Structure 1
Amino acid sequence: MATQRIVPSDREAAELQRAEGQTVDLIRQAQESDEADRKLTIRQAVKKYKKAVFWAMFLSTSLIMEGYDLVIITSFYGQTQFKERFGVYDPVSDQKLIPAAWQSGLSNSALVGQLAGLVVNAFCQDRFGCCPTMMFFMVWMAVAIFVPVFAQSLSVLAFGEAFCGISWGVFQTLSTTYASEVVPTILRPYVTAYVCMCWGGGILLSSGVVRAVAGLEGDMGWRLPFILQWVWPFPLFIGAYFAPESPWNSVRRDKVEEARKSLLRLYQDMPEREQRVEQTLAYIKYTTEMEKAETANASFLECFKGTNLRRTEINCVVWAAQILCGNAILGYSVVFLQAAGFSELQAFNINISLSACYIVGGIICWFLFPHVGRATIYMTGLTFMFFCLITIGGLAWGPGRDAQLAIGIILVISTLCNMIAIGPTCYPIVAETPSGRLRYKTITIGRFVYNLTSIFTNSVTPRMLSSTSWNWGAKAAFFYAGTNLLCNIWCWFRLPETKDRTFGEIDLLFTHRVPARKFKSTQVDQFAHGGEYAVKKEVEHEENA
């Protein structure tokens, strides 16, 4: 079968020529920038763009707060101090329990706040830029923490979770988009996967904190973990103040000089730095002008029109699959393990092991990125987790301690698999597939679907596990094995391979409606019109002479 080759359409070329008076020079510089990036090894790229890598990773640290709270609030459902303060007596188990309805309400309160934060962020990033948005919502976060710390009832705690959730919704997309835009193509999967590792780092930190306060008596056992969240806003606010703005964001806001200054700060001092900055700036302007042919208005409605509808679909399903792959059970690991027969302290100890997988898995995934495609890693992870879930569900009928031990071991293995394959790989996929002018909005829509999916699973999972509700126990794994399988089938037909593709090439592949299975093999020449412009300019020069 002959390899397909695609080039910019006449419409895209006309848009570029109309927007730029120096079209030939722009294309030449953009092509030089693209070729220079492609020649870099990972080591060379890290050395050359060390400042960009540093700022991408620093701002991604904001996701630690979201991951931290995710496990804090769900772990409290199995914590004695929290249950004694807010629980309802259950005669069956002869102890106080947090009702399944309140478990869903508390977990979903933060998600509702995040939905609002996602929408606010899409507007703020396009209007004010990444860094000012980050600074404002760090202040918001510092104020919001007061509410859960001093909550006297579950309703006040739920309000505090929603209040904090607004800032977490902002950080969810801001960190991913910023990281993807400040580094070259070869480093993009590593810094975006690091976003996921920060989220996992927050989970690991909170698991350790919850285990450490297990021996504290009274309200301080659940208040202290909330108090520790004040560690983050101040240093991250200072960092955001000094961080350079995303050059892609600046160009989209028509602030070319701001983009130039950001690139000068992001690039390490080198003899050819200014020339390299101009080439990169030309590439950003070239790609942005090409995208205007498809996304002239850059509104939320444009995400559901033409080829952008396919990009939005990919973002939504890849985000939702993060939950439906079986990760919903991992979020309730303490309650799940207790439902499977483990004691409270045993469940907390295993939960720390599960949380450590988020860091270890992310590091392992880094070593896979140079050799294996995003879609391949993602689908392999889904397949492995499917068999883990089937096994866990089957062990629900197993006898005694041996079955409990097996469930705990397989849960750790499936978590490690999730964080080697599905978790980190999601972030480069959702960062690379949207159009640049619609990147913030597309990721916002995808994350919106992710949070809606979380609201659904937070409503049904506690009922699956609670002895006072459906009481499925470990058999709940069968439900998520089914949702996992559906996601994997979709990936086979619809998830494209974007490994080693620049933003400009990905734009052309979507514009020409290349099928997902052919993304990897299709040749793309995004600078094909450069020669035509050069000939045209020479003819015009001769005519004028």
Structure 2
Amino acid sequence: QERSTLTDSDIMAPDTSQEEKNTMTTMEVMEPDKDITGYEDEAARGTEQEKTMPLKAAFKYYRKAVFWSITISMATIMESYDMQLISSFYAFPQFNRKYGKQLPNGTWQVDADWQLGLSLASLIGLIFGVFASGHLGDRYGPRYVMIAAHCFLAGFVAIIFTAQSVEILFAGELLCACTWGLFAAATPTYAAEIVPMALRGYLTTYVNLCWVIGRILATGVLRGMLPVQSEWSFRVPFALQWMWPPVLIFATWFSPESPWWLVRKGRIDEARKTLDRLVSAPSGIVNNDHRLAMMQHTIALEHKLKVGGSFLDCFKGTNLRRTEIAMLSWGGQILPGFIIQGYTTYFFTLAGLAPSDSFNLTMGVFGMAFVGTCASWFLQPRMGRRTIYIAGLAIMLPIMWIVAFLEFAPNAGSNSSIKWAQSSILMIWFFTYGITIGPIPYAIAAEVGAVQLRYKTIALGRNMYYFLSIVNVVISPYMLNPSKWDLKGKAAFPAAILNQEYILLPATSVQVQLPCPEHFFQIDTPVATPHIHETQADNSKITPAAFLLRIFNARNHVLQYTKQLLDASLSPETSLAQYQMLEGELREIHQSLPAELVFSTRAYQLRTFSPERTTFTILHLYFHHCHCELYRLLNPGYREALPQSVIYSSSPELVAYAQSKCLEHAISIGEIVASTYGLVEVSPYVSDTSCFVILYQASCAILYACHRDSPAYVMKAETARRYLVAFITTLQSLLSYFPRYAIYVKDIRNMLRSIDEPNVPLPAQKASNEVDFRARIVPSEENSDEDNLVSEIAVSTSNVRDDTAHSTSQTAEVPVGPLPELVEMSLHTPSTLEGQDHSFADLETYQYNLDLTMDLDQGLLWNWADALGSGFSI
């Protein structure tokens, strides 16, 4: 907590200039020997918060982050769009006539050397752009890198649009590709760093969907320009690239910066503001301070492990393993479809299909890839990425072999059926590509790299794809061009990489997060790696008593905290971090409950005649009661609330939050009691006197929420009456065992009367000018001392059967003590309530007479006055 109050200036040298501060990384800012344990508790909560968040909730609470990720990733469409144009223009007669030469048979064709040159221009530019993106992105952030790239691209498009020679076209392609390379590394990095782990796999693979969209748009535009018999048939598709930069520059300018990049730069306050901007959820659900601590802890841990931050560091130590995986996973996109996949339209044309049919079939191919990418989102959480990747390779390799062997069929060159068969099989190949090795490398590379090297790991992995594409591009024109080797379908023989991929690719999952990757990568040589399994404690065999002890420990922390604030008359606003930490502690206890200990009426019924009945019930009552004790500080319905002057000076949002949460847990207590009491006739309901305190405190919150003069009037009187009647009914049945607690029943009855009697005013103003909503002081015989009340209870015997077997003289004494000691006890007490109807309707006459016989000679089992002084701590 003390560390979190330091500013950037506190941990930098006094003579560091502002410009140097802005460019220094966290590794440079942090002291070399600084301990990382200061972030561990909050970082663990932040990691658990992301790992346990359901997918639907993640989309709901991080919808802003999803929007920005989708918008920024659209820059990838331009790269895919233009690369598809160049390879498809070779099937355009007008393009071939403008930039090619005439063959002996009278047709026009761009020379194979220039086909190679134009394709290489794009790939070489992409490689330079990706390397530049890895360096500039770490220095200036992905947001500013993409804005600059859009501005340059708008100018470079003019070169290819006006090119009058193949040489000028080559130069324009080279310059445009440099800007596309900036997008290629920046978009998956940005997507991975602004969304939580639950969404990271979906948003990074969405980048591949943008790639497919670019291909579909390019093919559609080209198909529409086929009837045009002038140079505009290929110049208009070039010009359409101008529609993207203005829109995306505007969107990127207003987008938030990557919080991970800000933390790496030591700009913690800006990172916190960015996280707040990306989240649309209450602080009780998504705690951005915990997420920020997770980022700080992760980066500090990598600094301690000397991860480094340069391209050279990607090939050192355990980072080499990460880099291999990123590069080989992306390289696998090229090798299975070697030669053919980048020249789809051209291949179909050379195979004998008409240009219009070639473009129609290409549209279908990329449509299959689009559907496949969407389908991969449903497979990832079920199958795992490594399984999907390997399965894709296993399916795609034989498909390419079939395409190749069909070329050896008799009359394959003139048989149109064979050409259509090859084309149809390739559509299956592209669907498999779209569902497996197309999107999955984006998710793998985005998560497998160290945080300090994530940008550069993605850059190296993507460049592996482009390096292999160069090999593909160098050979493809010669293998497919009719003036060269003219292999047609024989070019489908793929490279065999299945074995190497299987050995090296790890089993990453959506929950990959430090320290798991660091532990997983403590190796320096390629070995067969098993699937990663989450390391979680097995809580299935832990008894309710053990969880109850954890609740008591958490309650002790709550009481110590609230006592400090009450003694000093301070609002929780002065110590929000500790306030939220206590909330998190209680939430973690509930999340760790095994399924059989989660509250339900069935779970209660299964324990009705078990020694665990009391412990199970009190466990859940105490869980909600601890929350009430934490939130009651800002609820005037409690005696233990802060002075109203302190409450009024607190943040209205915090006060409203605390009062609503207090009521929420008080209602939960009411639902537990209302749904279980009378479910099975067992006496007593619980053998623990804490039930009196818990139900009394819940009644206070309910009264405050339903009373007509309460400033937090949010509950109907009928609803409040239902809960208070349930409390009274339950506690009355316990008075035969614990008579000295009758004062609680009396107070709850007074609360109920203050709801039912409309002319009865609220309690008068106290000396401290505060209103006590706990209970109205009713001037009646009920306000006599406790002894008189106990005597009144003893006289009332109207509903007890006159059977000696069930008389009070034979009522077994029920030992009451600390709950852990009661876990092993069995209650063999005959029910004094047998035959009674305990429905709430009996109490709606508003004559709340206590009608249970009890033994006046029973010893005092609990000194409630002393317990009140000690805060009812067991």
Q: TM-score, length-normalised on structure 1?
A: 0.89
How far 1:270 moved relative to its partner?
A: 2.1
How far 1:279 moved relative to its partner?
A: 0.4
Taking the aligned partners of 1:167 and 1:522, their CA distance within structure 2 comes to: 40
- 1:453 alignment partner, one of 444, 452, 468: 468
1:443 aligns with 2:455: no
> Contact between 2:404 and 2:491, CA under 8 Å: does it hold in 1?
yes
How far 1:136 moved relative to its partner?
A: 0.8
Partner of 2:159: 147
- Correspondence 1:94-493 to 2 at 5 A: 94-272=106-284, 276-326=287-337, 328-398=339-409, 399=411, 400-478=415-493, 481=494, 483=495, 485-486=496-497, 488-493=498-503
- 1:64 alignment partner, one of 63, 67, 77: 77
Residue 74 of structure 2 aligns with an amino acid whose one-letter code is T
Taking the aligned partners of 1:60 and 1:463, their CA distance within structure 2 comes to: 35
Partner of 1:86: 99
Residue 93 of structure 2 aligns with an amino acid whose one-letter code is T
- 1:76 alignment partner, one of 69, 89, 101: 89
1:501 aligns with 2:511: yes
Partner of 1:38: 51
Cα deviation code 1:466-508 (max 9, x no counterpart): 1111111100001xx2x1x22x111111100111333312233
How far 1:511 moved relative to its partner?
A: 3.1
Greater mean alpha carbon deviation, residues 493-502 or residues 64-73: 493-502
> Contact between 1:509 and 1:519, CA under 8 Å: does it hold in 2?
no
Which runs of no fewer than 5 residues in structure 1 stay unpaired? 1-14, 526-545
Residue 102 of structure 1 aligns with an amino acid whose one-letter code is W
Q: Could you say what secondary structure the match of 1:102 adopts?
A: helix
Cα deviation code 1:103-144 (max 9, x no counterpart): 111011011111111121112111111111111111011111
Taking the aligned partners of 1:328 and 1:467, their CA distance within structure 2 comes to: 15
Cα deviation code 1:432-477 (max 9, x no counterpart): 1111101111221222222111111011011111111111110000
Cα deviation code 1:119-171 (max 9, x no counterpart): 21112111111111111111011111000000001111011011100110000
Q: CA RMSD in A?
A: 1.9
- Correspondence 1:1-12 to 2 at 5 A: none
Partner of 1:536: none
Residue 375 of structure 1 aligns with an amino acid whose one-letter code is R
> Contact between 2:321 and 2:524, CA under 8 Å: does it hold in 1?
no
> Contact between 1:84 and 1:96, CA under 8 Å: does it hold in 2?
yes
Q: Could you say what secondary structure the match of 1:371 adopts?
A: helix
Q: Cα gap change, 1:412/1:162 in structure 2, threshold over 3 Å: closer, same or farther?
A: same
Taking the aligned partners of 1:409 and 1:352, their CA distance within structure 2 comes to: 12
Residue 506 of structure 2 aligns with an amino acid whose one-letter code is P
Taking the aligned partners of 1:18 and 1:30, their CA distance within structure 2 comes to: 20
> Contact between 2:46 and 2:290, CA under 8 Å: does it hold in 1?
yes
> Contact between 1:126 and 1:249, CA under 8 Å: does it hold in 2?
yes
Q: Could you say what secondary structure the match of 2:108 adopts?
A: strand
Residue 510 of structure 2 aligns with an amino acid whose one-letter code is D
> Contact between 1:62 and 1:171, CA under 8 Å: does it hold in 2?
yes
Taking the aligned partners of 1:444 and 1:85, their CA distance within structure 2 comes to: 36
Q: Could you say what secondary structure the match of 2:145 adopts?
A: helix
How far 1:20 moved relative to its partner?
A: 5.0
Residue 280 of structure 1 aligns with an amino acid whose one-letter code is R
Cα deviation code 1:2-34 (max 9, x no counterpart): xxxxxxxxxxxxx9996656x555111111111
Residue 305 of structure 2 aligns with an amino acid whose one-letter code is E
Cα deviation code 1:48-79 (max 9, x no counterpart): 11111111111110000011011111000011
How far 1:324 moved relative to its partner?
A: 1.0
Q: Cα gap change, 1:347/1:289 in structure 2, threshold over 3 Å: closer, same or farther?
A: same
Taking the aligned partners of 2:522 and 2:65, their CA distance within structure 1 comes to: 30
Larger C-alpha radius of gyration, 1 or 2?
2
Q: Cα gap change, 1:450/1:302 in structure 2, threshold over 3 Å: closer, same or farther?
A: same
Q: Could you say what secondary structure the match of 2:407 adopts?
A: helix
Greater mean alpha carbon deviation, residues 254-263 or residues 134-143: 254-263
How far 1:298 moved relative to its partner?
A: 1.2
> Contact between 1:295 and 1:302, CA under 8 Å: does it hold in 2?
no
Q: Could you say what secondary structure the match of 1:157 adopts?
A: helix
Taking the aligned partners of 2:501 and 2:466, their CA distance within structure 1 comes to: 20
How far 1:295 moved relative to its partner?
A: 3.7
> Contact between 1:16 and 1:286, CA under 8 Å: does it hold in 2?
no
Q: Cα gap change, 1:473/1:328 in structure 2, threshold over 3 Å: closer, same or farther?
A: closer
Partner of 2:602: none
> Contact between 1:16 and 1:290, CA under 8 Å: does it hold in 2?
no
Q: Could you say what secondary structure the match of 2:439 adopts?
A: helix
> Contact between 2:330 and 2:464, CA under 8 Å: does it hold in 1?
yes
How far 1:266 moved relative to its partner?
A: 0.7
How far 1:523 moved relative to its partner?
A: 5.1
- 1:55 alignment partner, one of 68, 72, 79: 68
Taking the aligned partners of 1:450 and 1:308, their CA distance within structure 2 comes to: 19
How far 1:359 moved relative to its partner?
A: 1.5
How far 1:397 moved relative to its partner?
A: 2.1
Aligned length: 503
Q: Cα gap change, 1:503/1:341 in structure 2, threshold over 3 Å: closer, same or farther?
A: same
> Contact between 1:139 and 1:233, CA under 8 Å: does it hold in 2?
yes
Q: Which structure would you say has the larger RCO, counting Cα contacts within 8 Å and 6 or more residues apart? A: 1
Q: Could you say what secondary structure the match of 2:381 adopts?
A: coil
How far 1:271 moved relative to its partner?
A: 4.0
Cα deviation code 1:299-342 (max 9, x no counterpart): 11111110111111111111211111206412101111122221
Taking the aligned partners of 2:39 and 2:438, their CA distance within structure 1 comes to: 38
Taking the aligned partners of 2:195 and 2:115, their CA distance within structure 1 comes to: 40
> Contact between 2:369 and 2:432, CA under 8 Å: does it hold in 1?
no
Taking the aligned partners of 2:181 and 2:461, their CA distance within structure 1 comes to: 12
Q: TM-score, length-normalised on structure 2?
A: 0.56
Greater helix proportion: 1
How far 1:357 moved relative to its partner?
A: 2.0
Which runs of no fewer than 5 residues in structure 2 stay unpaired? 1-28, 537-874
